Amino acid sequence: MVDDERQILELLELSLGQHGFTVTPAGSGPQALKLLQTGCFDLVVLDVLMSPWDGFETARRLRLVPGCPPIIFLSGVSGALQQQRGLTLAAAYLTKPFRPSQLVEVIWRVLRESGRPEDA
């Protein structure tokens, strides 16, 4: 889970944890890249509006790592152009606000489509 807003990370970590997911939070794109280079993950959930790298730049850099898992974008930006841009880099694009159950549904769909483990 990558978001530069600590409260969002904590909320999503708690919510996804209640659905059986193990969440590794990252507060920035560079931190997410470092984690991906040293760990094994089934999925990346990534905010679009962040700094120092936005979500698109972060996704481009993550995708250069061998074995990069599928990416789901979360964004407060709901424009069609942003979503199209996001979907060139990610498996899904979910617009804020959303219900935690919507995110869980998207996560399971992306995991199934990617052939990743069901017990992620």
Show the low-confidence residues of the chain (pLDDT under 50): 119-120
Give the Cα separation of 103 and 89 in Å (integer).
Answer: 18
Domains and CATH numbers, the chain: 6-98+109-114 (3.40.50.2300)
Query: What pLDDT does 120 receive?
Result: 42
* In contact, 12 and 27? CB cutoff 8 Å: no
CB atoms within 10 A of CB 98: 12
Name residue 44's amino acid: V
Q: How high is the pLDDT of residue 78?
A: 67
Which tokens go with 28? 């920035």
- At 90-110, the pLDDT tens digits run 999 998 888 889 999 999 999
**What pLDDT, on a 0 to 100 scale, did the predictor assign at position 118?**
53
DSSP letter at 69 equals P
